[in-house]
Amino acid sequence: MTWQRRTYRDVDGQRVDGVCRSMFVTNAGDYYLDDLVVYADGAVDAGDGLTDLDGLRRRLASGRVATTLEEGARAYAHRVGSWRFADVLGALTPELVLGEVADQIDRLNERPDSAARCRQAVQAYLSDMSEQNRLAVRESYLAIPEHLRIFTLGDMDRKDFPLRVLITELGEQVYGDPDGPVITRRHRDRAVQYFRETARAIAGWQATEPADGPARPHDPTVTLAQTYYPNGWPDDPGIHVLQNDYASSITVRGRSYPTVSHAYWALSTGDPAWHDRIAAAERVYDAVTLAGRAPRRDGWPGTRLAVMAELLRAKFAQHPRLADVLLATGDARIVCTDAGSDFWSAGPGGTNWFGRLLEVARSEVAAARTQPLPGEV
């Protein structure tokens, strides 16, 4: 099973990340290719609405979520085609699916999954080679979904053989291989040596910080949900001051605008009269409505990113208090959710350009507040 596609759902204005993979559900003896979606809060969508792990377990037990495919049965892929199964091969069981789903929930919450917990148990054993710790390695290894155990060490030459040696009693045949060797003290010593050498190599790699800095942010993701205040902005809207609709006037190209949104939509048209009407609109809603009727500037799709970057740069340069709020997000990824635009917001099919430009603006503010580089004025 592969879980490579990312998704999310909105819960009370908060983004809940998820992952999904293809699977088959059954109906009246036929099979339908669908998505199994798992979310960080433990919710699962098995093609018929949200449930939890217990609900998924029931669907697996009933065959609603299929782990076995019947020879000759009809299968359908929506808008792709249909076929009948022949020469069916499969090794999934309900327990394996549930194990993988549990691992995905751990990963979405940045917790160690079953394989990572096994590797942690190995490190504990290397620190204290007691029988209790060795048995803890065995327990954690057996908790990994069986079909994924060979990937635990990330070594496709040895696969999980060093682990199986370590968990096997001396004098017994190596776990999981009826044709494998009988484990001796020498086998176990070699396995321990393998783990120690691997640990040293990993420690050396982790101690070497890339010259360009970390590849991923240290701070947790910040979600900026589009929020509307029909009766006016509160005194302290918190992170929502980063929104383009927030009432913070800016001056750009010699003109003043009540908000970034006013400026963006006014500059989106090449007609001076429409520009002035949009810029003078009483509310952001009115500015957007007028912009929908105005002609777009030639080449607007290719220039709108530069315009938005310019407006955000002006906003945070002209309003240091708002820049402080932006800097307080640290190095977090900023994810913006706005149902009105897949271009500016995140989500399925969304490119999150507004969040990305906020991160660029944050970096520029931070650079402007630090000691200048040699040669800078």
pLDDT at 203: 86
Q: How far is CA 108 from CA 17, 42, 208, 242, in A?
A: 7, 10, 26, 26
121-126 mean pLDDT: 97
Asked if residue 135 and residue 22 are part of one domain, the reply reads no
* Alpha carbon distance 263, 112 (integer Å): 46
pTM value is 0.65
Which residues are bridge partners to 44 per DSSP? 38, 51
Asked if residue 102 and residue 51 are part of one domain, the reply reads yes
For the chain, give the mean pLDDT: 92
The domain that holds 356 is classified in CATH as 1.10.357.40
Which residues are bridge partners to 222 per DSSP? 334
How many structural domains does the chain have? Answer: 3
211 located within any domain: no
- pLDDT level of residue 216 (50, 70, 90 thresholds): confident
pLDDT at 208: 76
Asked if residue 119 and residue 93 are part of one domain, the reply reads no
Q: Which one of 76, 108, 140 terminates a domain? A: 108
Asked if residue 184 and residue 119 are part of one domain, the reply reads yes
212 located within any domain: no
301 located within any domain: yes
Asked if residue 364 and residue 249 are part of one domain, the reply reads yes
374 located within any domain: no
Residue 120: is its pLDDT beyond 90?
Answer: yes
- pLDDT level of residue 18 (50, 70, 90 thresholds): very high
* Alpha carbon distance 101, 51 (integer Å): 13
Tens of pLDDT, residue by residue over 60-72, are 999 999 999 999 9
* Alpha carbon distance 67, 1 (integer Å): 11
229-256 mean pLDDT: 93
pLDDT at 339: 61
Asked if residue 171 and residue 62 are part of one domain, the reply reads no
pLDDT at 209: 65
Least confident of 187-196, 220-229, 275-284, 290-299: 220-229
Tens of pLDDT, residue by residue over 153-198, are 999 999 999 999 999 999 999 999 999 999 999 999 999 999 999 9
Sort strands 334-337 and 222-225 into parallel, antiparallel or unpaired. Answer: parallel
267 located within any domain: yes
Asked if residue 261 and residue 139 are part of one domain, the reply reads no
Kindly state the tokens that stand for 72.
Answer: 């000759």
Asked if residue 118 and residue 104 are part of one domain, the reply reads no
- pLDDT level of residue 258 (50, 70, 90 thresholds): very high
pLDDT at 5: 86
Asked if residue 118 and residue 87 are part of one domain, the reply reads no
pLDDT at 377: 57
215 located within any domain: no
**Residues 105-127, buried b or exposed e (16+ Cβ, 10 A)?**
bbbbeeeebbbbbbbebbebbee
pLDDT at 204: 85
pLDDT at 279: 97
The domain in which residue 99 lies consists of 5-108
The Cα angle at residue 321 between residues 315 and 322, in degrees rounded to 5: 45
Which residues are bridge partners to 75 per DSSP? 31, 83
Asked if residue 48 and residue 135 are part of one domain, the reply reads no
Least confident of 245-259, 262-276, 279-293, 347-361: 347-361
Q: Which one of 74, 108, 142 terminates a domain? A: 108
Residue 206: is its pLDDT beyond 80?
Answer: no
- pLDDT level of residue 333 (50, 70, 90 thresholds): very high
353 located within any domain: yes
* Alpha carbon distance 356, 363 (integer Å): 11
- pLDDT level of residue 290 (50, 70, 90 thresholds): very high
174 located within any domain: yes
Listed in order, strand segments (DSSP E) in the chain are 5-11, 14-27, 30-39, 44-45, 50-51, 74-77, 81-84, 222-225, 250-252, 255-257, 334-337
Q: Which one of 86, 108, 130 terminates a domain? A: 108
Asked if residue 254 and residue 311 are part of one domain, the reply reads yes
Asked if residue 259 and residue 162 are part of one domain, the reply reads no
Q: Which of 85, 45, 82 is nearest to 65 (CA)?
A: 45
